[in-house]
């Protein structure tokens, strides 16, 4: 009642000082209430988040996933940063090369824009599927020519479409790096052969290997292990050992956790290696 009178008096007064004092009084008198109820409020908030996510559905296609990434996962300037180089980029997907010291190796045009990169390449989880290796009766052009591979799987294989569109496996990357990485496996390359300016990303084309910067390796490991656990995608013992080391060297960051929350709100699931304990 006293607090209510203070607010009423201040709101009817032209003195800003009284209004400030009354607000401070309210904060002090309500502090104990919020401290006593913080746990309950947090639980209620978490329940609301899970209730909202229960209506979420995974994107039905890679095209839809790209739209969701732009609008909901990386919607604002402070979130728009390329994965491999750390370059900022605009709402129009134009890369600011000066922000990260990136210089194009060869394809300057493609290096000006971001593309949505599959950390685990589509070929890795698609190449053993029948639609990839053999095609499907539904995979024919208007002229009657049969096709197979990713194009066919994206048309006829529901599980492949879920994997291809899984938001946990998609990140913004400089277009040239996305093209140069291709479907190469990720590992450590001895020696530094910087071909992208200050961007710490190396490629050994003879071995078909790409090396990401240390700050992203834990993120990459958690994505690979998520894809293994979610879709049964096999990993070698050597990969599992390497990924476990990468996770130890590069623990989960707050940015990674918040991205996981945004994905959960849209897609309806989390990466347990990121969300555990959050």
pLDDT at position 151 over 60:
yes
CA separation for the pair 135, 97 (Å, rounded): 41
- Quote the percentage of the chain above a pLDDT of 90: 76
pLDDT at position 70 over 70:
yes
Structure token pair of residue 68: 């969701």
Confidence of residue 276 (pLDDT cuts 50, 70, 90): low
Question: What φ, ψ does residue 89 adopt, rounded to 5°?
Answer: -145, 160
Nearest residue to 103 via CA among 204, 182, 212, 177? 177
Tens-digit pLDDT profile for residues 11-40? 333 333 433 333 343 333 343 433 444 344
Distances (CA, A) of 262 to 14, 74, 120, 191, 239: 43, 9, 20, 37, 28
How far apart are the two ends of the chain, measured CA to CA in Å? 38
Neighbours of 192 (CB within 10 A): 8
Burial of 7 (0-12, 13-18, 19+ CB in 10 A): middle
Tens-digit pLDDT profile for residues 74-119? 999 999 999 999 999 999 999 999 999 999 999 999 999 999 999 9
Structure token pair of residue 174: 């400089």
Neighbours of 275 (CB within 10 A): 16
* Predicted pLDDT at 208: 95
| Residue showing tokens 């093209």 | 179
- SS3 of the chain: helix, strand, coil, percent, to 5: 55, 10, 35
pLDDT at position 271 over 50:
yes
* Predicted pLDDT at 252: 97
Sequence-ordered alpha helix ranges (H) in 90-236: 108-111, 122-126, 130-133, 150-156, 158-164, 175-181, 214-231
Q: Answer for the pair 274, 254: CB distance below 8 angstroms, yes or no.
A: no
Mean pLDDT of all residues belonging to the chain: 85
Q: Answer for the pair 146, 95: CB distance below 8 angstroms, yes or no.
A: no
Q: Which residues contact 203 (CB under 8 A, 6 or more apart)?
A: 180, 181, 184, 189, 195, 209, 210, 211
Structure token pair of residue 133: 């290796």
Tens-digit pLDDT profile for residues 212-269? 999 999 999 999 999 999 999 999 999 999 999 999 999 999 999 999 999 999 999 9
Q: Which residues contact 17 (CB under 8 A, 6 or more apart)?
A: none
Confidence of residue 56 (pLDDT cuts 50, 70, 90): confident
Q: What is the CA radius of gyration of the chain?
A: 24
Structure token pair of residue 144: 């009657």
């Amino acid at each position: 009642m006293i607090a209510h009178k203070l607010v009423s008096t201040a709101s009817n007064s032209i003195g800003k000082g009284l209004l400030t004092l009354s607000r401070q009084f309210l904060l002090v008198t309500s502090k104990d209430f919020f401290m006593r109820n913080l746990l309950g409020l947090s639980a209620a908030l978490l329940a609301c988040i899970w209730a909202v996510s229960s209506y979420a559905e995974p994107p039905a296609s890679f095209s839809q996933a790209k739209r969701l990434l732009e609008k909901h996962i990386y919607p604002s300037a402070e979130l728009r940063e390329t994965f491999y180089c750390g370059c900022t980029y605009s709402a129009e997907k134009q890369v600011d090369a000066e922000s990260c010291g990136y210089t194009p190796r060869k394809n300057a045009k493609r290096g000006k824009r971001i593309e949505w990169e599959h950390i685990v390449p589509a070929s890795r989880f698609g190449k053993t599927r029948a639609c990839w290796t053999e095609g499907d009766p539904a995979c024919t052009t208007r002229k009657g020519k049969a096709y197979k591979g990713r194009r066919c799987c994206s048309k006829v294989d529901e599980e492949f479409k879920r994997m291809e569109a899984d938001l946990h496996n998609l990140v913004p990357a400089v277009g040239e790096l996305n093209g140069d990485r291709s479907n190469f496996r990720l590992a450590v390359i001895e020696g530094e052969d910087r071909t992208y300016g200050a961007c710490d990303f190396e490629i050994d084309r003879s071995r078909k290997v790409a090396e990401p910067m240390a700050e992203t390796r834990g993120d990459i490991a958690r994505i690979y292990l998520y894809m293994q656990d979610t879709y049964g995608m096999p990993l070698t013992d050597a990969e599992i050992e390497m990924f476990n080391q990468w996770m130890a060297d590069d623990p989960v960051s707050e940015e990674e956790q918040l991205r996981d929350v945004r994905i959960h709100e849209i897609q309806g699931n989390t990466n347990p290696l990121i969300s555990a304990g959050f």
